[in-house]
Amino acid sequence: MNAPRLDADARGVYLITVTPFTDGGALDLASTDRMVDFCLEQGVTGLTVLGIMGEAPKLTAEEARTFVRQVLARAGGRVPVVVGVSSPGFAQMRELADSVMALGASGVMVAPPATVRTDDQITAYFQMVSETLGPEVPWALQDHPVATGVQMTAGVIVRILRDNPSCVMLKHEDCPGLAKLSAIRAASERGEVRRVSVLCGNGGGLFLPEELSRGADGAMTGFAYPEMMVGVCRAHAAGDIERAHDLFDAYLPLARYEQQPGIGLAVRKHLLAQRGVIASSFARRPTPKLSAADVADIERLVARQTRRLVELG
Amino acid sequence: MNAPRLDADARGVYLITVTPFTDGGALDLASTDRMVDFCLEQGVTGLTVLGIMGEAPKLTAEEARTFVRQVLARAGGRVPVVVGVSSPGFAQMRELADSVMALGASGVMVAPPATVRTDDQITAYFQMVSETLGPEVPWALQDHPVATGVQMTAGVIVRILRDNPSCVMLKHEDCPGLAKLSAIRAASERGEVRRVSVLCGNGGGLFLPEELSRGADGAMTGFAYPEMMVGVCRAHAAGDIERAHDLFDAYLPLARYEQQPGIGLAVRKHLLAQRGVIASSFARRPTPKLSAADVADIERLVARQTRRLVELG
Amino acid sequence: MNAPRLDADARGVYLITVTPFTDGGALDLASTDRMVDFCLEQGVTGLTVLGIMGEAPKLTAEEARTFVRQVLARAGGRVPVVVGVSSPGFAQMRELADSVMALGASGVMVAPPATVRTDDQITAYFQMVSETLGPEVPWALQDHPVATGVQMTAGVIVRILRDNPSCVMLKHEDCPGLAKLSAIRAASERGEVRRVSVLCGNGGGLFLPEELSRGADGAMTGFAYPEMMVGVCRAHAAGDIERAHDLFDAYLPLARYEQQPGIGLAVRKHLLAQRGVIASSFARRPTPKLSAADVADIERLVARQTRRLVELG
Amino acid sequence: MNAPRLDADARGVYLITVTPFTDGGALDLASTDRMVDFCLEQGVTGLTVLGIMGEAPKLTAEEARTFVRQVLARAGGRVPVVVGVSSPGFAQMRELADSVMALGASGVMVAPPATVRTDDQITAYFQMVSETLGPEVPWALQDHPVATGVQMTAGVIVRILRDNPSCVMLKHEDCPGLAKLSAIRAASERGEVRRVSVLCGNGGGLFLPEELSRGADGAMTGFAYPEMMVGVCRAHAAGDIERAHDLFDAYLPLARYEQQPGIGLAVRKHLLAQRGVIASSFARRPTPKLSAADVADIERLVARQTRRLVELG
């Protein structure tokens, strides 16, 4: 069953999923099913697969298709599924996008390559993206300078939105990004550009309460406790800003630890395995392994988080 | 009066100070005095001036000397004062180092330039640093890849410590840095290299409790609430790890906000001005200014922090 | 018919070929055949396909296999054919390498990803490459810091050669690279590491005569006039160093022009089309197009080069 | 005596000079005088000091002033003298610019810091430069992405020229830069922006003949044989394009060798010392030293160059 089509009204939490492997390193489709169920039970409103934290570049083309097919089948059309299709070349991007849209994906997500630098190079790149994908494929613009090295101003993002009607979402994860987020929303309010969905991923949601206050529609990021983002978004939508912060603060020490560059994926998979979501914490190379000291840190942080959540009620 | 000489036994909190300006942009020496007093009252065990967050590159050579002289005079030999002397060339580094040591500084701190990349280039660079400074000037090695782009492995740091007896301290602010910190301490325990002081600055102390558990001697970083780092270090030294985490967690939401790249300095100066430590939050260009929304964010975070500290007792 | 296996005795000119397209952007297999014939007629001793200048990232996996199959069939086992297999992940690298080796390729070439920085990261990466390829696949190490951002010292290259017996060739294109080349050859002469084939690509062979004098075995690079590299290598092998320089100097003004970053591929394809080697100068996006002024520059340089070659005899 | 004021009519060759040191590493003022005389005898129309190849970052502030004073005194007002004032901060830039303008310099040159990336950051930076320098100081915009990492489009350069009336010159050394040069000249011809002087430094003048044909007014770069650039510019101005290319081609093999990153400065100082212009080839650290093989390369290239010039007549 096809997932709902991605559009500019998307809101809530689009969780960036991991890709589960067995201890031997093969795709683990049973864990994939369990992970999809877990996310939906926690209240996510969408799923994003084949992102960087989904180890997309470590999969073969066939594995990528198999994994997407499994996620789509298990999600069963209940939430949109967005697929990362960033590629070194347009032929590969078209091939992957055509393939996942044919499988029933809701839309795709594209980050710019490190080679584009100037405003003109960036906007020209995304026009080629639109032409490559065709007018029927809705796509999310990923603004993630820490990973890509590409810095887009609010003005450039507005130009991209104007030039490309099929771009319906901004995955915003610049840091500092609060001012940029305010500027993009202000441009829409002044009628300069249509309003798109803005989901935030700033450092794994490390600024989520503030981003919601600036006009973000939710989060698109990964965290072993997606219920945090779901809870923060719901409290915020209900107007209970202090409750949103309370929840956020309770998870922040662990979220901060899971957001460490490099080792973060190992932390996330360790936690998901511990929660019973995936069978193995295996990540494909090159990924650092957790030391005993890392595991001790995590255990302390989880215990403290659990106590804090009890206190909060 | 000369400050105590920097040595490998340094511990506690060496606060990286801002450089106070008047609203008109001139050095504010009265605020400098107040800031020194404030730091000492909060329990810092050392001061570090002319770092990146001290706007060192925005001062003329004469202003830099004036500021250092004022800090040294006000500190009155009560704590060591370390001066950042990273320079594009060795002639400038020698000139600045000689000048501040003559004024009575305790030691200097050096980060590598972005142009060194390989292990050999890095170790060769720091040998030139030692030769430039001479054997009598104790120095701290600043490992700060986010700012410099230079990645040093634990092995490279061990080589630098071996090659350069006058290097007595590591300012550790790599991220992820916990494994590196453990490796450097293990090398000393195995007798492979002498033990030096390791003070951490990882994202403004955002991993301080974990770093202390890995063998760090304290923190060298900036934050508008230095009492957080002082309290965490003291609780940890007293063996009360949970208390250290409790304190840390109470300040974490604001610390995270103050650590935003780019706008962080404006946040810090705003808070220091609000606390009455400095007269003006003025920062020299190019520094982004706080918006009304930023100020509202800060006010909420401070109010929540205050309440949380009351709860903690 | 399988191409000869790549080994450490490779010498002469391994030309990095372009990938010919039709004006409509499809693979042009007839031009591919003509290009292979042309290269062999000019005296190249090997072919390298799917390099950066071969627009490898712009091909789909299926196109890449089709193109390699065609080149191998046309070369008919007369010269070794090396295939670039650098990939963002090891699963993709293995898939591509297995596939082209099964088609009869002689070996593969791998450049490091931009994410590895320290000496240890670099050597660890290439150990994973060897494990990924398996002991039966000979491979060439591509040292190309301008394209990859990865700087490898002579010492690191020696470590890689020691750790990985299946690495039989260094494609050397660091700049300045003469001192590094001398250091690697000296390490072999001292018996510290086995001697491998070193083929140079420094800026499209812009230092070929000097590199041959330092112990390089030849060139691996692209240029619309491969007869230049062939002639320089032959003159050098015959001991006629001045003749090697004479030939080189005659082509240098045009080679310099063809080596401009970005527009260079357009220049090369324009020249190859003009020489009748390929039917169309079409390059896949994003590639800048030649202006009328560029074409006028090229015409002048070709006319001058022709006159100079006549003078040389 | 003050040097003539820099203006938009500057043309010919503004040589980027080295900074001569004694074998002991001190400023060598006698060699400085000889170097100025040599440049003027060769026909340069301007001098540029304290550039990157002038080892500016390796001088103390006092040494920089001493050197500029000596150059100005020896030049005696016969040609404009431009001083590089790029600094990590505006206070330092103002101090250096005020100081050299007071000594009688003709104008200053500024490159952007590596930290500016987007079009808006770049144009904002140069507005701060203009404000820092004041309206009375004419300045040259240095567009040198290989050294700075900052990529400016033709459109951004046009914005900078429009915003800053005191910017009178573009030092153009992007590569590929021919299309950008054409675009900037076309913008002036269409009346979109006033015409400024454009002097080229692309890889040490490695594209000088083509740049002159695109509308450049001359060269601003360094080379141990400034007579090459002078001769090329004069032949071009006289309409003898082929003669310009003949001269250029004769020097190209050596120019290419002198333009190697890193070791290039050692080559240049070696050649200037050999020509008797400076007493010592000493360069301050960190600069690689020439090996015997390097020196042999240089000797061969000089001998071949000499023969070729005799043939040319």
pLDDT in tens, B163-211: 999 999 999 988 778 999 999 999 999 999 999 999 998 766 799 999 9
Q: Which residue of B has its CA nearest to C116?
A: B151
CB of C238 within 8 Å of any CB in chain A? no
User: Which residues from A are below 8 Å from C92, CB to CB?
Assistant: 57-61
Contact: B92, D60; criterion CB under 8 Å? yes
Q: Within a 13 Å sphere around the CA of A33, how many CA atoms are in the beta-carbon half?
A: 4
Q: How far apart are the CA of B119 and the nearest CA of chain C, in angstroms?
A: 6
C160 neighbors C167 (Cβ within 8 angstroms): yes
Q: pLDDT of chain C along its 313 residues, tens only?
A: 578 999 999 999 999 999 999 999 999 999 999 999 999 999 999 999 998 788 998 999 999 999 999 999 999 999 999 999 999 899 999 999 999 999 999 999 999 999 899 999 999 999 999 999 999 999 999 999 888 889 999 999 999 999 999 999 999 988 778 999 999 999 999 999 999 999 998 766 799 999 999 999 999 999 999 999 999 999 999 999 999 999 999 999 999 999 988 899 999 999 999 999 999 999 998 888 999 999 999 999 999 999 999 999 8
Of D58, D91, D114, the CB nearest to B90: D58
Residue A176 forms contact with D (CB below 8 Å):
no
Which of D173, D178, D245 should we substitute to test contact with C (largest number of C Cβ atoms within 10 Å)? D178
* Residue C97, token pair as written in the block: 């390498």
Q: Is the peptide bond before C113 cis (omega within 30 degrees of 0)?
A: no
State the alpha helices, DSSP H only, in B238-291.
241-258, 264-274
What pLDDT is recorded for position C2?
78
Residue D50 included in any domain:
yes
Nearest chain D Cα distance for residue B228, angstroms? 31
Q: What backbone torsions phi and psi does residue B250 show, to the nearest 5 degrees?
A: -65, -35
d(CA B51, CA B148): 13
- With contact defined as beta carbons under 8 Å apart, do A278 and A27 qualify? no
Q: What is the pLDDT of residues A242-263, one digit of tens each?
A: 999 999 999 999 999 999 888 9
C183 contact B CB<8A:
no
Give dist(CA B38, CA B226) in Å, integer. 9
Three-state secondary-structure class, residue A158: helix
Residue A256 resides in a domain: no
CA distance to partner chain C, nearest, from residue B163 (Å): 19
- Residue C3: inside a domain, yes or no? no
Chain C residues with CB under 8 Å of B121 CB are 151
Calculate mean pLDDT across residues B26-49. Answer: 98
Residue D114 contacts B, CB cutoff 8 Å:
yes
Which CATH number does the domain housing residue C138 bear?
3.20.20.70
pLDDT score of D313:
86
Residue contacts between B and D (CB atoms, under 8 Å): 57
**How close, in Å, is residue C119 to chain B by CA atoms?**
6
Pick from B171, B96, B83, B163: nearest CA to B130 = B163
- Give domain status of residue D197, yes or no: yes
B169 beta partners = B140, B197
The pair of three-digit structure tokens given for residue A98, joined into one six-digit string = 């055509």
Token pair belonging to D34 = 């000889």
User: Is C76 domain-assigned?
Assistant: yes
Interface check D134 vs B, CB under 8 A: no
What are C80's two structure tokens? 């070794």
Question: In C, which residues are within 8 Å of D291 by CB distance?
Answer: 179, 182
Global pTM value: 0.95
Q: What is the mean pLDDT of residues A198-221?
A: 91
pLDDT digits 0-9 by tens, D161-195 = 999 999 999 999 887 789 999 999 999 999 999 99
Establish if C50 belongs to a structural domain. Answer: yes
The number of folded domains in chain D is 1
- The closest CB to that of B252, out of A210, A252, A288, belongs to A252
- pLDDT higher than 90, residue A147: no
Residues of D in contact with C175 (CB under 8 A): 260-261
Q: How far is B42 from chain A (nearest CA, A)?
A: 24
CB pairs under 8 A between A and C: 57
- pLDDT tens column, A264-298: 999 999 999 999 999 999 999 888 899 999 999 99
B 18-57 near D (Cβ less than 8 A): 55, 57
| Structural element, H or E, at residue A83 | strand A81-84
Subunits with 3+ Cβ pairs within 8 Å of D are: A, B, C
pLDDT tier at D224, thresholds 50, 70, 90: very high
Evaluate whether residue C121 is within a structural domain.
yes
Q: How far is C135 from chain D (nearest CA, A)?
A: 37
Note down the domain range covering B44. Answer: 12-239
Is the Cβ of D176 closer than 8 Å to some Cβ of chain A? no
Q: Which pLDDT score is estimated for B132?
A: 96
CA torsion A261-A264-A266-A269 (nearest 10°) is -150
Best of A115, A116, A120 to disrupt the D interface (most D CBs within 10 Å) is A120
Query: What is the interface pTM, i.e. ipTM, of the complex?
Result: 0.96
Residue of C249, C294, C308, C309 to mutate, interface with D, max D Cβ within 10 Å: C249
Within-domain flag for B24? yes
Residues in chain A: 313
* CA–CA distance, C151 with C157 (Å, rounded to integer): 10
Find the CB nearest C294 among D178, D241, D300: D178
Neighbours of chain B (3+ CB pairs under 8 A): A, C, D
pLDDT-derived band at D117, boundaries 50, 70, 90: very high
Alpha-carbon gap, residue C11 to C76, rounded angstroms: 19
B118 in contact with D at a CB cutoff of 8 Å?
Answer: no
A148 contacts in D (CB within 8 Å)?
A: none
| Helix or strand holding residue C215 (H, E) | none
Give tens-digit pLDDT for D253-312: 999 999 988 899 999 999 999 999 999 999 998 888 999 999 999 999 999 999 999 999
Grouping H, G, I as helix, E, B as strand and the rest as coil, residue D113 is coil
